[in-house]
Homo-oligomer: A and B are copies of this chain.
Amino acid sequence: MFEKEGLKLQTLIVVAHPNIADSPTQQFLKASLPDADVIWHDLSSEGQFDRQRELHLLAQADRIIFQFPFYWYSAPFILKKWQDEVFGGEQGQYQFLAGKQLALVVSLGQSLARYQSGGSEHYAMSELLRPYQAFADKLGWHYRAPLLISHFAYSTEVEKQALLIRYQQFLTMDDPTNFAAQGDWLVAQLEKMATAHPTQAANVSLVSEQLTTQLEQYRDLIWQVSQIKQGEKD
């Protein structure tokens, strides 16, 4: 799943937070990073960004994540500082970065339901995040649906475990909303787990086999439905 012409997909996580050490959400996400090729890039720098160094980092990545808490309907200012300083001048000069993915991981202090027409925040997240979408469009980057984390502080342990899986999938999968791809991802994780924990291998393998069987049944079902539809057309 991480393969692309024989090379692993690199994910660059650009983290914009005024104080990552004091943020339970950012600390949780940092501890949840997958083993895959992921670079955690904290923007908490003083002074100007080193433009060449930042562009070099971006050039190496296939997937770029902007990760931040939602302050006044956008990222903390440090992300805009980074955008302004790294992407100055003529837009054509960034052609060598075209074709990358941009995905946002945004943590919200409010519940998501408030962000809609008629909700107390009035506007949908899709609208409020338009400047980032337009940024991606302009650079020829593919803008993906964001991962929105609301009310992390009130999450139960089970919800946190679910978030960990969603986050890892988000960082490493091209389409985390695809059900079968999610299943494949889980099977791959379980196989890794079995190798890492030999004493648990038998249990883990059992779960993995059941999941594999279910995924086969799911794909078979999709195939049958497609055949029926084909028949209707004839």
Contact = CB atoms under 8 A, between A and B. Distances in A.
Interface of A: 18, 71-78, 80-81, 83-84, 87, 121-123, 127-128, 130-135, 137-138
Contacts of A78: 77
A140 B144 CA distance: 33
Contacts of A127: 127, 130
Given A84-B72, A84-B77, A123 B134 contact: yes
Nearest to A132: B73
A134 to B, nearest CB: 5
A131 B131 contact: yes
Contact of A84 (B71, B122, B134): B71
Q: Give the dominant DSSP class at A's interface.
A: helix
14 contacts: A18-B84, A71-B84, A72-B83, A72-B134, A74-B131, A76-B80, A77-B84, A122-B134, A122-B137, A127-B127, A127-B130, A128-B130, A128-B131, A128-B134
Given A76-B84, A80-B74, A123 B130 contact: yes
A90 to B, nearest CB: 11
A75 to B, nearest CB: 8
Nearest to A124: B130
